[in-house]
Amino acid sequence: MSKFFNFFKLIPRPFLLSILSGLLIGTSYIPFSGWFLLLCYAPLWVATVELSQSTSFYKKIFFAGWLTQFILTLIGFNWIYFVASEFGQLNWILSLAALLLFAAFMHLYIPFSLVIGVWLVRKFKVYSKLSQFLIFALVLSLLERIWPSIFEWNLAYTLLWIKLPLYQWADSVGFWGLSTWILIVQAFITWALYTWKTKKSRSFITIISVLLFVAIFSIMGQLKKETWSKARDTVQFGMVQGNIGNLEKILAEKADRFHLYILGIYTDLTDQHLKQHPETELMIWPETAMPFALDTNYHRLEAQKKLLSSVTAWNLPLITGAYAIDSTKRDHLGYPLTSNSVFFLGPNEKLLAEPYSKSDLLVFGEYMPFGEQIPFLYKLLPFVGVYKRGDGPTVNDVILKNKTLKIGSQICYESLNPSFSRGLAEKGAEIIFNVTNDSWFGWWAEPYQHNIMTLARAIEVRRPLVRSTNTGISTVILANGTVLETSKINEAWTHTFEIPYLKNPPQTFYTEYGHYDWIFWIFVLLGLIYASAYSSYRKGRHVHH
């Protein structure tokens, strides 16, 4: 043990601080408790200030930031290893290499934000430590929004995870805006901790003021919840989580007899559920629950006929994930055009609405970057899918026995894009649903992360959101932020939800304007730099005279 501590004594203090920040940030994200949410960047920003006084400081600052982002990625996104081994069918060495490579590059905007922040500080002679920390926070906030990544990620989702009512403000600023709030709060706390020895009273007042800000806006957030709890109309929404393993899904996609096996699981679960819950008005099954085509020209095949006859027997609509195949057209590899789609099935073998096909395709899962231009890339990575892209946010009218619902569709990854859900709200969706298959990502972190990030969209646009998954987590969140019954992971499960919703719901501020808040924060950053530079200029003139 002494050798272990002696090793860390050899590491310079700034890099120890950057390691600490990586640990705090990684454990501030889902599925951890979030206890360090308001100070996790503080050690890194202090390290940056200390390194900015050394020689070759830009290289050292970048390395400190890189170390932080590498550690936080290993902690928060270690499920990449599971995906590489389960989906990519790679051995443990290559899977580990994939994780390390991912961790090395995923959050490079963090070290870049430090380098840019220090450059601004030195360029405009920003001497105030509080201003410096605020500049670091704002530059980080802006960079994390534009950095290219597989999915959008920020610390604000932890607010919903830990049920801190501050998340209710997402209908005004979105979770990106809340992330900026968190970083600015951290800048003030960082300054208070940094100056504690010399300015104890001011530091103490600053920390108390920050905590009061969080408390007041949380209380106001709770009041916002009450405002969105007045829906009059309701719908009884049934859900089935089939818990189909990856091996079964692969076999089903390649062998017709497995179609009937998987269909049997879903129809049996639905039969049993509807006997106990006859009040159900609408059923939903998850992404690619049916591993076959459901286009009308396939309806005479055995599995499709059995499914349609079951829907007729239930006498209520079914929304299910399946495949849409256009056999008259071919992709660049010569295969029929296939889409990851959602079908709206009604009694008497009718389609209640046009199928929706996934629009935001998952890179390396559903398409290969530059694959159309260089088809040889698919031979290098044969496990990568080739899917046709859909037409973007789509809202369908689904007619029930005594009402018509305007329902917006999301498939899997599309829930992580705030603009997609805004598009559904703008097109008049009264309820949004998301169908997902998270079985490729393991049981520990990713299902919880994906679930919370999906439910977050309901707060931004103030629509109920139904999340149906293959292996969990399946649930419903109401427009006021209340999360209803939640499934366990890797268990078959059914439930009927009574979901209150608004007819012709109003648009939130975030839906209409809030996604432009980055422009506001740019002006705040420029104003901060200008004020600091002007203050330095006045002090210089005063000294000169």
- pLDDT of 221 reads 93
pLDDT band at 426 (very low <50, low <70, confident <90, very high): very high
- What backbone torsions phi and psi does residue 483 show, to the nearest 5 degrees? -95, 125
Dihedral over Cα of 153, 154, 159, 162: its sign: positive
Whole-number Å distance between alpha carbons of 427 and 253? 34
Annotated catalytic residue within 358, 366, 430, 460: 358
Token pair belonging to 323: 């495949």
Residues 246 and 126 in one domain: no
pLDDT at 64: 97
> Where is the domain boundary, 199, 227, 255?
227
Residues 334 and 372 in one domain: yes
- Average the pLDDT over 204-215 and give the result: 94
The pLDDT tens digits for 117-138 are 999 999 998 888 999 999 999 9
Cα distance between residue 494 and residue 237, in whole Å:
11
Identify the pLDDT of residue 537.
58
**Does a structural domain hold residue 537?**
no
The mean pLDDT value for 33-59 works out to 93
- With CA atoms as reference, report the closest residue to 106 among 43, 140, 150: 150
Q: Tell me, what DSSP letter sits at residue 363?
A: B
pLDDT score, position 91: 83
**Phi, psi torsion values for 337, nearest 5 degrees:** -65, 120
Q: How far apart are the first and last CA of the chain?
A: 60
Distance CA 26, CA 33 (A): 11
Tell whether 515 is covered by a domain: no
Tokens of 440: 């490729």
b/e code 479-496 from CB counts within 10 Å (16+ = b): bbbebeeebebeebbbbb
In a domain, residue 417? The reply is: yes
Alpha carbon of residue 137 to chain centroid:
21
Query: Given this model, what pLDDT does residue 254 score?
Result: 56
pLDDT of residue 544: 47
Question: Are 180 and 311 in the same domain?
Answer: no
**Dihedrals phi, psi of 45, to nearest 5 degrees:** -70, -35
pLDDT score at 373: 65
Region label for 526, one of left (φ > 0), alpha (ψ between -120 and 50) or beta (otherwise) = alpha
Residue 418 and residue 174 in contact, taking contact as beta carbons nearer than 8 Å: yes
Among 47-51, 81-85, 408-412, 467-471, whose mean pLDDT is lowest?
Answer: 81-85
Q: What is the dihedral of CA 125, 131, 133, 136, to 10 degrees?
A: -70
Residue 524 lies inside a defined structural domain of this protein = no
pLDDT in tens, 67-122: 999 999 999 999 888 888 877 677 888 889 989 999 999 999 999 999 999 999 99
Judged by average pLDDT, the poorest of 182-196, 307-321, 355-369 is 355-369
Report yes or no: 347 and 315 within 8 Å, Cβ to Cβ.
Answer: yes
Within the chain, how many helices (H) and strands (E) appear? 19, 11
Mean pLDDT of 487-492: 94
Average pLDDT estimate for 284-313: 93
Cα angle for residues 75, 79, 85 (degrees, 5° grid): 135
Mean pLDDT (the chain, rounded): 89
pLDDT value of position 9: 67
Written as one letter, the residue type at 142 is L
- In this structure, are 170 and 316 located in the same domain? no
The pLDDT of residue 225 is above 70: yes
What distance in Å separates the CA atoms of residue 399 and residue 193, rounded to the nearest whole number? Answer: 59
Concatenated DSSP letters for 429-464? -SEEEEEE--GGG-SSSHHHHHHHHHHHHHHHHT--
Quote the number of domains for the chain.
Answer: 2
Q: Is 87 exposed, middle or buried (0-12, 13-18, 19+ CB in 10 A)?
A: middle
Residue 266 domain-assigned? yes
For the whole model, what pTM was predicted? Answer: 0.91
> Active-site residue 412, yes or no?
yes
In a domain, 4, yes or no: no
- Residue 267 near residue 253, CB atoms below 8 Å: no
Contacts of 276 (CB under 8 A, 6+ apart): none
Catalytic one among 406, 412, 430, 446? 412
pLDDT reported for residue 55: 82
pLDDT band at 232 (very low <50, low <70, confident <90, very high): confident
Same domain, 260 and 289: yes
Of the candidates 50, 144, 281, 287, the residue annotated as catalytic is 287
Residues 168 and 307 in one domain: no
**Do 406 and 305 lie in a common domain?**
yes
| DSSP reduced 3-state for 112 | helix
Q: What is the rounded CA–CA span in Å between residue 436 and residue 447?
A: 10
pLDDT at residue 465 in the model: 98
Average pLDDT over residues 488-492: 93
Which own/partner contact pairs does 144-148 have at CB distance under 8 Å and 24+ positions apart? 144/109, 144/113, 144/179, 145/176, 145/518, 147/107, 147/108, 147/109
pLDDT in tens, 517-537: 889 899 999 988 888 877 765
- Is 287 tagged catalytic? yes
Q: Is the pLDDT of residue 250 over 80?
A: no
Categorise residue 332: left if φ over 0, alpha if ψ from -120 to 50, beta otherwise.
alpha
The answer to whether residues 41 and 179 belong to one domain is yes
Cβ atoms 65, 113 nearer than 8 A? yes
- Boundary (domain end) residue, out of 208, 227, 246: 227
Tell me whether residue 66 is in a domain: yes
8 Å CB contact between 38 and 214: yes
pLDDT in tens, 181-194: 999 999 999 999 99
- Which H or E element spans position 239? strand 233-241
Q: What is the CATH number of the domain that holds 381?
A: 3.60.110.10
Judged by average pLDDT, the poorest of 303-312, 355-364, 400-409, 460-469 is: 355-364
Claim to verify: residue 216 and residue 306 sit in the same structural domain: no
Tokens of 384: 């990568």
Q: At what angle do helices 109-123 and 57-76 cross, to 10 degrees?
A: 150
Q: Does an H or E element contain 322, and which?
A: strand 318-330
Identify whether residues 198 and 251 lie together within a single domain: no
Report the pLDDT value the prediction gives residue 227, as an integer from 0 to 100.
Answer: 85
Q: pLDDT band at 545, cuts 50/70/90?
A: very low
Q: Which uninterrupted H or E stretch holds 405?
A: strand 404-411
> 505: which DSSP letter?
P
Question: Which domain covers residue 501, as residue numbers?
Answer: 233-505
Q: Is 198 found in the same domain as 284?
A: no
Give, for 167, the enclosing helix (H) or strand (E).
Answer: none
How many residues can be counted in the chain? 545
Residues 197 and 109 in one domain: yes
What pLDDT was estimated at residue 281? Answer: 95
Q: What are phi and psi of 383, to 5 degrees?
A: -80, -10
- Cβ atoms of residues 47 and 18 within 8 Å: yes
Residue 375 has pLDDT above 90, yes or no: no
> Is 64 within 8 Å of 114 (Cβ atoms)?
yes
Residue 272 maps to a domain: yes
Tokens read off for 275: 């006997």
pLDDT surpasses 60 at 506: yes
pLDDT confidence of residue 543: 47
Q: Is the pLDDT of residue 8 over 80?
A: no
